[in-house]
Copies of this chain bind each other. A is one copy, B any other.
Amino acid sequence: MTGWLAVAGLGPGDEAMVTPEVRAALAEATDVIGYFPYVARVAPRAGLTLHGSDNRVEIDRADHALRLASEGAKVVIVSSGDPGVFAMASALFEALEKQPALYDLDIRILPGITAMLAAAAHAGAPLGHDFCAINLSDNLKPWELVEHRLRLAAQADFAMGFYNPRSASRPHQFARALEILREECGPDRLITFARAVSTPEERIQTVTLRDATPEMADMRTVVLVGNSATRRVGRFVYTPRSA
């Protein structure tokens, strides 16, 4: 087999955050596969086929990529952020697991700047000490598990980053998450809403849990919650290294 498959992170949106490693893979690819808006970030050229697909078809997309690569194509699955953080890398391995004949295929995961860390950088350093990352969507896991992790993370005094905090189909869950955080962390804890990070529409807003409302988040928002030592300095928010 001369084909290969790379799962590449395009970062949160700004082209200046795409690594040269990812650029090189895209330059060599014969096929680029991914969710429409991510594929739209790749410039068309002769010899390259762009395969945009809809959201929530991750396994179909992974199967398609595995098939093309096994037939000799040079395939890049594009992911926003980092493919290993709530993105396409796990879906690829779920698909691969069912096809042992392909275990020796040339597969590489190319990391990217994940939204949580770009948001943290633009807010200051709110994840500057021990932290956790939680996907608040219950598409693939029970909401009870989300609540359990939120409580233990708060009790461990982790700073936190939340992906997929809120969608139209489940508007009440993020309100419930804020309630749990207020119970566990108190009303003065800082929370940062970072929307469309590194794009022209970027908006970053830090408030206390007392003043946080569910409407401050949508599906383009990453939410960062400080730990007990997180504080403001000038226009920034940061967590000291000793906490």
Using CB atoms and an 8 Å cutoff, list the residues of chain A in contact with chain B: 11, 14-21, 24, 58, 82-86, 89-94, 96-97, 100, 103-104, 107, 109-114, 117-118, 120-122, 124-125, 127-135, 140-141, 145, 148-149, 152-153, 155-158, 233-236, 238-243
Contacts and interface: CB of A to CB of B under 8 A. Distances in A.
Contact of A113 (B104, B113, B135): B113
Given A93-B238, A117-B84, A124 B149 contact: no
A3 to B, nearest CB: 16
Contacts of A242: 140-141
B111 A118 contact: yes
Which of A91, A104, A124, A145 lies at the interface centre, i.e. has the most chain B CB atoms within 10 A of its CB? A124
Contact of A241 (B94, B109, B110, B157): B94
Contact of A16 (B21, B128, B156, B157): B21
A96 B233 contact: yes
A113 B152 contact: no
Contact of A86 (B16, B84, B129, B234): B129
Nearest to A103: B234
Given A90-B125, A124-B93, A19 B234 contact: no
A129 B90 contact: yes
A173 to B, nearest CB: 15
A84 B158 CA distance: 15
B93 A125 contact: yes
Contacts of A236: 93, 96, 107
A113 B141 CA distance: 28
A210 to B, nearest CB: 23
A61 to B, nearest CB: 13
A190 to B, nearest CB: 13
A49 B177 CA distance: 49
B238 A127 contact: no
B135 A130 contact: yes
18 contacts: A11-B19, A17-B21, A18-B19, A20-B20, A90-B240, A94-B238, A94-B240, A96-B236, A97-B233, A104-B234, A109-B120, A112-B113, A114-B117, A130-B133, A131-B133, A132-B133, A132-B158, A141-B243
